[in-house]
Chains A and B, each alone.
Chain A
Amino acid sequence: NAGVTQTPKFRVLKTGQSMTLLCAQDMNHEYMYWYRQDPGMGLRLIHYSVGEGTTAKGEVPDGYNVSRLKKQNFLLGLESAAPSQTSVYFCASTVHPTSGQQFFGPGTRLTVL
């Protein structure tokens, strides 16, 4: 099993450009999450999904959109990137929200100039 994978690993954008981050998991998990981590900080929840076709906002959703068209994939989109979105983005999945054991991807390091 590959677990949770994320593409790309690194990306540099100019202000105003758009991009999509892809998260894939092969564990048949229902719940998936997108977090961001800024230097010296803990992770903050952007959006999450409780199953295929469903998404919901987390703590810091502004400027991001998500889609969960397939159970194994969770996409995070930036429509018009801003320097404040420079961060490391982590995707995670879990079998059920009552389980505190989440599986994280390796992260995507995004720089917006």
Chain B
Amino acid sequence: DAKTTQPPSMDCAEGRAANLPCNHSTISGNEYVYWYRQIHSQGPQYIIHGLKNNETNEMASLIITEDRKSSTLILPHATLRDTAVYYCIVRGYGGSQGNLIFGKGTKLSVKP
């Protein structure tokens, strides 16, 4: 699975869009980009995933660049409850283990 690079921390004002970047320059053609978040002391929570097209669900939008070497998770209207560590994970649709490899993620602080 390709390695990802995320900024260690970011701030966002409540009600504004939070844009969380992720670099994955070694991503291969069959690898997906997944985003999870972990609110303090809770288990990680799946947010969204994509291959090459932009994706949107009720929680967030995922924008993947055309060369697939980077992506951005967008929380359109951040609230205080979105304060969490956000993990960008790249993995293929294969392998026998199926486990997720978590890095250190980005700590997003949403401020009033």
Contacts and interface: CB of A to CB of B under 8 A. Distances in A.
Contacts of B96: 50, 97
A101 B42 contact: no
Given A42-B87, A100-B34, A94 B98 contact: yes
Contacts of A104: 43-45
Contacts, number: 67
Given A100-B32, A100-B49, A106-B43, A42 B103 contact: yes
Contact of A43 (B41, B49, B93, B100): B100
Contact of B98 (A31, A35, A44): A31
Mostly, the A contact residues are strand
Interface of A: 4, 31, 33, 35, 40-45, 48, 50, 56, 58, 88, 90, 92, 94, 96-107, 109
